[in-house]
């Protein structure tokens, strides 16, 4: 047994159809043993013979019980359902793409001694079966995706948001306290001077549901606490692609319940969110409404992402004017978060749901954003549902401009404070 070198994308052997195995002998057994050892060493979930330079129809797959299944001359004989999710490959290191596969598969194959058997799998193991058998026909997963996201891109995005937060917040006169909320990182931002208020803001950070953390949250939570005098609670909801829908929604509910247990009362709590956090704030209200629970005092939405179907005209008309977002980026993060769910589901696109009985809402957006339509359409839908709503469009501004140290950001924060204090 030995570790074999994994060949990388661009090598000719990865584009050729493998020949069937006809001799079940010691050479085959050695190949299978080496494939298993190489797979375990690499930390993957599957490995095919062409990935180590051997053009034979042989592969190994690790199931969700960490058992390695040997497949010789495999073929998929039945499929059912559909799953969409993030997929990578040992031959395409450091890159990931959103790929749709069958949710359940049935495979017919031979074992190392030539005996035929059938195996059924679903979820991740079904995905691995399809992925590895495709290798035997000279195909790579990259053929199924229109955009590859590198680990570096995702981690860079997450690190940059953390750095931004650490460099710009908290503001002077603030107390900042991090703590664990049932294993979820959370933080309070409060004025140092006692004010006797029992009002709070639950802040949901943005980041396309794929990035964002307490560091990122410190920027806007600090500004909100400063202009309102309210206590601001931020939290690190679980991120996609590792934790797709509904993980973030569940974590937002946990943060809301914590505030209620602390005795703030729904009538004294506003929910704020930027970008994907605005989406999360709206979905949180949907969940509270469906459960027959009391709604928050108000919603403060900054450049909210409300329509994952991307139906608004600004997705096409404002591409050149938006310095922050691209349609390609939005498509990538929504697939990571939503998977194969129907994008018309109001838990993904709250714009498309019933907004009746929602709390008074302030929406702020820049007129250069590709998400402009999401805000304008939401304001119209809220008004149609007889919900008090104010839409503020800032000329020449970009996505979540409130985070930046500019006059229009300060003016937007002051307006948010007035909105709350006037209720």
On whether both 189 and 123 belong to a single domain, the answer is no
Q: Which of 132, 134, 162, 369 is catalytic?
A: 132
Residues 313 and 362 grouped into a single domain: yes
pLDDT of residue 151 exceeding 60, the answer is no
Tell me the per-residue pLDDT of 337-389, one tens digit each, with 9 for 90 and over: 998 899 999 999 999 999 999 999 999 999 999 999 999 999 999 999 999 99
**Any domain includes 400:** yes
Going by their DSSP bridges, the two strands 298-302 and 269-274 should be labelled as parallel
Based on the fold, state whether residues 221 and 259 are members of the same structural domain: yes
Structure tokens at 93: 């290191």
CA-based end-to-end distance of the chain? 72
Does 143 or 359 have the greater pLDDT score? 359
Both 263 and 157 in one domain: the answer is yes
- The answer to whether 234 and 207 are in contact (CB under 8 A) is no
Is the whole-model pTM more than 0.75? no
Residue 6 lies in a domain: no
Residues 6+ apart with CB under 8 A from 290: none
pLDDT at 322: 84
**How far is the C-alpha of 86 from the C-alpha of 338, rounded, in Å?**
11
- Assigned token pair, 131: 């992925």
19 and 93 co-located in one domain:
yes
- For residue 2, is it within any domain? no
CATH number reported for the structural domain that contains residue 99 in this entry = 3.90.45.10
Domain housing 250: 151-422
* Beta-strand relationship, 104-110 and 116-122: antiparallel
Of the listed ranges 79-88, 126-135, 405-414, the one predicted with least confidence? 79-88
Closest Cα partner for 393 from 360, 364, 419?
Answer: 364
Domain end point (choices 145, 168, 192): 145
Distance CA 129, CA 123 (A): 10
DSSP secondary-structure letter at 147?
Answer: -
Which of the four pLDDT bands, split at 50, 70 and 90, describes residue 235? very high
Assigned domain for 180 exists? yes
pLDDT at 295 over 70: yes
Burial class (CB in 10 A: 0-12, 13-18, 19+), 94: exposed
Residue 166, pLDDT > 90, answer no
- What is the three-class DSSP state of 206? coil
What is the edge-to-edge ordering of all strands in the sheet holding 200-204?
174-181, 184-191, 231-235, 200-204, 269-274, 298-302, 361-366, 389-394
- Is residue 28 domain-shared with residue 159, that is, in the same domain? no
- 191 and 241 within one domain: yes
Beta strands in 81-147, from DSSP E residues, in sequence order? 83-89, 92-101, 104-110, 116-122
Domain's final residue, options 145, 180, 200: 145
Whether 1 maps to a domain, the answer reads: no
Q: How many domains does the chain have?
A: 2
Asked, for residue 5, whether it belongs to a domain, the answer is no
Active site residue 23: no
Region 382-411: mean pLDDT is 91
Quick one: 292 and 372 in the same domain?
Answer: yes
Residues 83 and 205 in one domain: no
Of the candidates 82, 113, 234, which has an alpha carbon nearest to the alpha carbon of residue 170?
Answer: 234
- pLDDT band, residue 423 (cuts 50/70/90): confident
* Structure confidence at residue 167 (pLDDT): 47
pLDDT at 110 over 90: yes
With respect to residue 87, please indicate whether it lies within any of the assigned structural domains. Answer: yes
- Choose among 242, 81, 76: nearest CA to 154: 242
Q: Taking 50 as the threshold, does the pLDDT of residue 37 lie above it?
A: yes
Token pair for 26: 């010691």
Are residues 231 and 277 located together in one domain of the fold? yes
- Predicted confidence at residue 158, as pLDDT, reads 56
Mean pLDDT for the chain?
A: 89
- DSSP code, position 112: T
Same domain, yes or no: 123 and 156: no
3-class secondary structure, 192? coil
The pLDDT of 85-105, averaged and rounded, is: 80
Compute the chain's Rg from CA coordinates. 25
**What are the Cα distances from residue 204, in Å, to 54, 222, 255?**
50, 13, 10
> Which residues, at least 6 apart from 80, have a Cβ–Cβ distance to it below 8 Å?
102, 103, 104, 105
- 408's CB contacts (< 8 A; 6+ apart) are 394, 397, 401
Q: Which CATH number characterizes residue 405's domain? A: 3.40.50.1820
Higher pLDDT among residues 67 and 168, named by residue: 67
Q: What is the pLDDT of residue 85?
A: 65
Residues 278, 355 within the same domain: yes
Of the three residues 145, 169, 201, the one that is the final residue of a domain is 145
* Within a domain: 44: yes
pLDDT over threshold 90, residue 241 = no
Using omega within 30 degrees of 0 as the cis cutoff, is the peptide bond preceding 246 cis?
A: yes
């Amino acid at each position: 047994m030995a570790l074999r070198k994994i060949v990388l994308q661009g090598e000719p052997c990865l584009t050729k159809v493998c020949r069937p195995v006809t001799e079940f002998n010691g050479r085959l057994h050695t190949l299978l043993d080496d494939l298993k050892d190489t797979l375990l060493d690499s930390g993957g979930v599957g490995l095919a013979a062409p990935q180590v330079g051997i053009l034979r129809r042989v592969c190994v797959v690790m199931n969700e019980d960490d058992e390695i299944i040997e497949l010789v001359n495999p073929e998929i004989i039945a499929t059912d359902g559909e799953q969409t999710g993030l997929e990578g490959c040992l031959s395409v290191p450091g890159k990931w793409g959103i790929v749709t596969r069958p949710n359940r598969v049935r495979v017919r194959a031979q074992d190392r001694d030539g005996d035929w058997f059938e195996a059924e799998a679903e979820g991740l193991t079904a995905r691995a079966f399809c992925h590895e058998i495709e290798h035997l026909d000279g195909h790579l997963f990259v053929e199924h995706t229109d955009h590859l996201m590198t680990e570096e891109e995702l981690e860079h995005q997450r690190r940059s948001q953390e750095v931004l937060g650490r460099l710009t917040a908290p503001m002077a006169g603030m107390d900042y306290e991090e703590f664990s909320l049932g294993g979820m990182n959370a933080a309070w931002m409060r004025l140092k001077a006692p004010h006797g208020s029992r009002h709070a803001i639950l802040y949901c950070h943005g980041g396309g549901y794929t990035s964002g953390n307490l560091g990122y949250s410190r920027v806007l939570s600090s500004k909100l606490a400063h202009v309102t005098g309210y206590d601001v609670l931020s939290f690190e909801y679980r991120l996609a692609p590792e934790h797709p829908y509904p993980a973030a929604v569940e974590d937002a509910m946990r943060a809301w319940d914590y505030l209620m247990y602390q005795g703030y009362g729904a009538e004294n709590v506003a929910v704020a969110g930027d970008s994907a956090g605005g989406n999360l704030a709206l979905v949180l209200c949907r969940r509270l409404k469906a459960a027959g629970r009391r709604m928050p005092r108000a919603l403060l939405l900054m450049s909210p992402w409300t329509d994952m179907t991307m139906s608004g005209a600004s997705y096409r008309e404002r591409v050149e004017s938006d310095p922050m977002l691209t349609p390609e980026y939005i498509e990538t993060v929504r697939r990571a978060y939503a998977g194969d769910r129907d994008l018309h589901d109001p838990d993904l696109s709250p714009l498309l749901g019933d907004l009746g009985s929602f709390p008074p809402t302030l929406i702020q957006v820049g007129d250069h954003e590709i998400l402009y339509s999401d805000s304008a359409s939401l304001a119209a839908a809220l008004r149609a549902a007889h919900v008090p709503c104010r839409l503020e469009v800032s000329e020449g501004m970009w996505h979540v401009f409130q985070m930046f140290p500019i006059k229009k950001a300060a003016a937007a924060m002051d307006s948010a404070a007035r909105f709350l204090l006037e209720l």
